[in-house]
């Protein structure tokens, strides 16, 4: 495997900061979330004991779509993508995604079903080519798919 790019490292740091922010918001709502610190636990079990995946989407307001990741690679020069996001084989059952003003809560199972249907999904690659996923229109997320929407 090739080394991680600076882009990947920057995105990882932004994601960790956002994860801390969301954990603080959940704690205020009476939901304490205990994250695993080691990469080994994160890969074997999941991001945290509660089975909640947290993702930051900084562009959903601009694009009108929420980006749901399905696979990734740490460097665009790596040959293969690995399952990630909703397809990670871990304890995740809830998928939280948003920005510092709005957090969308989805069922991981429902997002997988949505991805497998041809109803709303469109496969996209992010640039640089380190992530694949699909776009969920915010209007549809608000109307039909989000279990809860948390406004900060």
Coil, strand or helix: which one is 99? coil
pTM: 0.86
pLDDT of 74 > 70? The answer is yes
Instruction: Please report where in the chains the tokens 């695993």 appear, as a residue.
Output: 36
pLDDT of 1 > 50? The answer is no
Q: Tell me the domain boundaries of the chain.
A: 6-151
DSSP code, position 128:
S
27, 39, 56, 90, 104 from 21: Cα distances, Å = 10, 20, 10, 22, 14
pLDDT per residue over 79-94, tens digit each?
888 999 899 999 999 9
pLDDT of 126 > 80? The answer is no
The per-residue b/e assignment along 134-148, b for 16 or more CB within 10 angstroms, e otherwise, is bbbbbebbeeebbee
Listing from the earlier edge strand, what are the strands of the sheet with 52-56?
52-56, 94-98, 102-107, 148-151
When pLDDT is averaged across residues 99-106 and rounded to a whole number, the result is 97
């Amino acid at each position: 495997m090739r080394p991680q790019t600076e882009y990947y490292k920057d995105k990882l740091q932004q994601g960790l900061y956002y994860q801390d922010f969301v954990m603080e918001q959940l704690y205020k709502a009476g939901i304490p979330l205990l994250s695993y610190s080691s990469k080994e636990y994160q890969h074997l079990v999941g991001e945290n004991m509660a089975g909640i995946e947290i993702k930051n989407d900084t562009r959903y307001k601009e694009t009108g779509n929420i980006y749901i990741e399905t696979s990734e690679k740490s460097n665009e020069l790596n040959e293969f993508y690995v399952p990630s996001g909703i397809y990670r084989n871990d304890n995740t059952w809830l998928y939280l995604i948003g920005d510092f003003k709005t957090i969308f809560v989805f069922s991981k199972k429902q997002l997988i079903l949505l991805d497998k249907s041809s109803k709303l999904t469109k496969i996209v690659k992010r640039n640089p080519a380190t992530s694949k996923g699909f776009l969920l229109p915010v209007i549809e997320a608000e109307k039909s798919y989000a279990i809860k929407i948390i406004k900060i």
